[in-house]
Amino acid sequence: MRFFFYGTLLDADLRRTLCGPAADAWTLARAELAGYRRGRSRGRTYPFLVADPAGVVAGVVADGLDATAAAILTLYEGSGYRLARLAPAGADGPVDSWVFLPRRRVVADLSWMLDDWVVRHKAPTLLRIAAWRAALPAAELAQAELRWRGRGQTGGPAA
């Protein structure tokens, strides 16, 4: 499966903390998603994508994720996000990918930059993620994984 990452998931340490060593095997390719802009809401340390006809968001397409990784990412992103199938532009053209979008309209009027996040927020974020992963009930992960397996490697989570 393929996902377009545009925020904190651009960081290799964060991906590894979430999904373990399997994250190192994913193929990453630069891509741009047109029709959106990346922004941050006051009080948040992570970005959202906001529809913007003139916007273009740089990120990466991660390929090779399995159902377990997709389930972990879905649980991590939580109910505030929905999955959309979009086609960011890669070096060889559009790449059909899953993208996490906010479930409801958000005010994301502040800028977000990965370099700033790394310096100011990465360390505590990794600690929180490690604690979350350690506490994640195996049954909850298994259920989320089954939803992804129910749609096959190219589909998304079954409803």
Q: What's the pLDDT tens digit per position in 111-153?
A: 899 999 999 999 999 999 999 999 999 999 999 999 998 765 4
Lowest-confidence region among 27-31, 73-77, 112-116, 153-157: 153-157
Q: What is the mean pLDDT of the chain?
A: 92
Mean pLDDT of 21-29: 97
The confidence score (pLDDT) of residue 159 equals 45
154 falls within a domain = no
Lowest-confidence region among 40-49, 65-74, 76-85, 105-114: 105-114
Evaluate if residue 155 carries a pLDDT over 60.
no
For residue 106, the enclosing domain spans 2-149
Question: What are the helix (H) ranges across the chain?
Answer: 12-19, 67-77, 114-120, 122-135, 138-149
155 falls within a domain = no
Mean pLDDT of 34-43: 92
CATH classification of the domain holding 27: 3.10.490.10
Q: How far apart are CA 49 and CA 83, in angstroms?
A: 12
Q: Output the pTM of the full model.
A: 0.91
135 falls within a domain = yes
145 falls within a domain = yes
Mean pLDDT of 21-46: 94
The confidence score (pLDDT) of residue 151 equals 66
Number of domains in the chain: 1
DSSP state of 79: T
Q: What three-state secondary structure class fits 100?
A: strand
Largest Cα span, the chain: 43
143 falls within a domain = yes
Q: How far apart are CA 148 and CA 68, in angstroms?
A: 8
Instruction: Return the closest-CA partner of residue 100 out of 157, 140, 153, 23.
Output: 157
159 falls within a domain = no
Q: How far apart are CA 93 and CA 144, in angstroms?
A: 31
